[in-house]
Amino acid sequence: MRRLRELGPQLLVPALVLLAWGVWSARAENFFFPPLTDILASFRANWLFARVPTDVVPSLERMLAGYALAVAGGVGLGVLIGSFRLVRWAAGPAVEFLRAIPPPVLIPFAILTFGIGPQFKIFVIAAGCVWPVLLNTIDGVRGIDPTLRETARVYRIGALARLLSVVLPAASPRIFAGLRTALSLSLILMVISEMEASTNGIGFFVLQSQRSFAIPDMWSGILLLGLLGFLLNAGFVELERRLLRWHRGAQASALEGA
């Protein structure tokens, strides 16, 4: 009952906004802002499911490949840098500089190195997404309770077991905060890289529709990207809640990550 009462005001505003948009756009006759019904019709024609195998699947494949590389590299390097003072000392300044480079400026370099195939997009996505994962992993590993670390050492728990059952679990709330930031960044970089040089993909489709003045198609692509962003984020939050159920601070860190 309580949930229902809370749901009312939550759904009220989105419903009003959609209604207002629908009514306004139906009358506006503005070329840039076509009627909502046209956009929805174009959404159905394009994305349910005619273009899914040709554009959506390649886009998501590249995004997930880049994301997976970033996660593997970020967590691996992060544990290394976080655990050893010497590595931190040596790598710190280079990390500070590289992470300050806005990832899109790497696109010309990536095209030069990998050509305009999928590899360059995967590289750009991975190169941009690695930083939130890396920095959070470093902080998570460094922030481990010293008692925990020393207890593990006193009991002579081997390095591998210590890594798997002490260091990674203790750092996981921070790592997850980084993974979440990186996920939304990967969608953004996927779109940018497809707009810069591509022959398929959602970003390519949206820009191409705009260039050929197929405005409802363009809006349907924007709508799809919005839905994707929303679903990815919601899915990740759910996954995090399940995996970090044991961690009392999970709620607090979820707020922080937002």
Q: Which residues bind another protein (CB under 8 A)?
A: 6, 9-14, 17, 32, 89-94, 96-98, 100-109, 111-113, 184, 187-188, 191-192, 195-196, 203, 206-207, 209-210, 215, 218, 221-222, 225-226, 229-230, 232-233, 255, 258
Residue 123: CB minimum distance to another protein, A: 14
Say how far apart CA 119 and CA 67 lie, in whole Å: 13
Residue 132: CB minimum distance to another protein, A: 11
Residue number, 17 or 50, with CB nearest to another protein: 17
Cα pseudo-dihedral 245, 247, 253, 254, rounded to 10: 0
Residue number, 108 or 249, with CB nearest to another protein: 108
Interior/surface letters 59-70, b for 16+ CB within 10 angstroms, e for the rest? bbebbebbbebb
Residue number, 17 or 161, with CB nearest to another protein: 17
Closest to 121 in 3D by CA, of 147, 97, 103 = 103
Residue number, 168 or 195, with CB nearest to another protein: 195
Alpha helix (H) residue ranges in the chain: 2-28, 36-47, 57-83, 85-100, 106-114, 118-142, 146-154, 159-162, 168-196, 202-211, 215-243, 250-257
DSSP class per residue in 174-205: HHHHHHHHHHHHHHHHHHHHHHHS-SSSHHHH
Residue 232: CB minimum distance to another protein, A: 7
Residue 122: CB minimum distance to another protein, A: 17
Residue 157: CB minimum distance to another protein, A: 28
Residue 17: CB minimum distance to another protein, A: 6
Say how far apart CA 126 and CA 120 lie, in whole Å: 10
